[in-house]
A and B are shown apart, each in its own frame.
Chain A
Amino acid sequence: MYSRLKFLGVASVALMLLAACGSSGNTPAAKTYKIGLVTDTGGLNDKSFNHLAYLGLQKAVTDFGIKGDVIESKTQDDYVPNLTNFATKGYDLVVGNGFFMQVSIGTVAGQFPNVKFAIIDGAGTDAKFNDLKLPNVMGLVFKEQEPGALVGVIAAMMEKTGKAPKNTHVISAVGGVSIPPVNHYLAGYKWAAVMEDPSAKVIIGYSNDFNDPAKCKGIAQSQIGKGAEFVFQVAGGCGVGALQAAGQAKVWSFGVDADQKDVDPSVAASALKKVDVAVYTAIKSVVKGSFVSGGNTFSLQNDGVGYQVDNLTLPADVKAEVDSVAAKIKAGTLTPPADIPPPV
Chain B
Amino acid sequence: MAVPVGSVVFAFVVGGLIVAATGGNPFAAYQGLVCGGFGLACTGGENPALQISNTIVFLTPLITSGVAVALPFRAGLFNIGAEGQLLVGAIASTVIGVKFGGLPGPILLPLALLGGMVAGAVWAGIAGVLKATIGAHEVVTTIMLNYIAQWLLRYLIVGGPLQAPNGFSASAPIAPAARLATILPQDPTLVIFGLPASVFRLHYGLLIALVAAAIFAFLLWRTSLGYEIRAVGQSQRAARYAGVSVRRTIIVTMLIAGAFSGLAGAIQIVGVDHGLLDKYFTDTTGFDAIAVALLGLGSATGIVLASILFGALHAGGSVMQSDAGISGSLVQVLQALILFSIAANFLRMFRLRLPTIGRARPTPADAVRDVRAP
Contacts and interface: CB of A to CB of B under 8 A. Distances in A.
Interface of A: 36, 41, 43-44, 69-72, 74-78, 80-82, 84-86, 88-90, 100, 110-112, 127-129, 177-179, 208-209, 211
B45 A88 contact: yes
Q: Which of A36, A77, A82, A100 has the most CB of B within 10 A?
A: A77
B154 A128 contact: no
A312 B5 CA distance: 57
A86 B321 CA distance: 12
Contacts, number: 91
Interface in B28-82: 44-47, 50, 54, 58
B275 to A, nearest CB: 7
Q: Nearest 10 CB-CB pairs, A to B?
A: A76-B279, A127-B173, A89-B45, A81-B54, A71-B318, A71-B322, A69-B322, A88-B47, A129-B166, A71-B321
B291 to A, nearest CB: 15
A82 B46 CA distance: 11
B27 interface: no
B332 interface: yes
B45 A74 contact: no
Nearest to B325: A69
Interface in B293-352: 314-315, 317-319, 321-322, 327-329, 331-332
Interface of B: 44-47, 50, 54, 58, 154, 158, 164, 166-170, 172-173, 188, 195-196, 198-199, 201, 272, 274-275, 277-279, 281-284, 314-315, 317-319, 321-322, 327-329, 331-332
Given A71-B322, A110-B188, A127-B275, A89 B46 contact: yes
A283 B195 CA distance: 25
B174 to A, nearest CB: 9
B46 A85 contact: yes
Contacts of B167: 178
Contacts of B329: 43, 72, 74
25 contacts: A43-B329, A71-B328, A74-B314, A75-B284, A77-B272, A81-B318, A84-B199, A85-B46, A88-B47, A90-B45, A111-B196, A111-B199, A127-B275, A128-B166, A128-B173, A129-B164, A177-B158, A177-B278, A178-B158, A178-B167, A208-B154, A208-B158, A208-B281, A209-B282, A211-B282
Given A77-B279, A179-B168, A72 B321 contact: yes
Contact of A70 (B50, B164, B274, B321): B321
Given A88-B199, A89-B44, A111-B196, A82 B168 contact: no
Nearest to B196: A111
Contacts of A100: 278-279
A209 B281 contact: yes
B39 to A, nearest CB: 12
A2 B306 CA distance: 39
B169 A178 contact: yes
A80 B201 contact: yes
Contacts of B195: 88
B322 A74 contact: no
Contacts of B154: 208
A69 B328 CA distance: 13
A205 to B, nearest CB: 13
A89 B47 CA distance: 8
Given A41-B282, A128-B164, A179 B169 contact: yes
Nearest to B321: A71
A91 B331 CA distance: 25
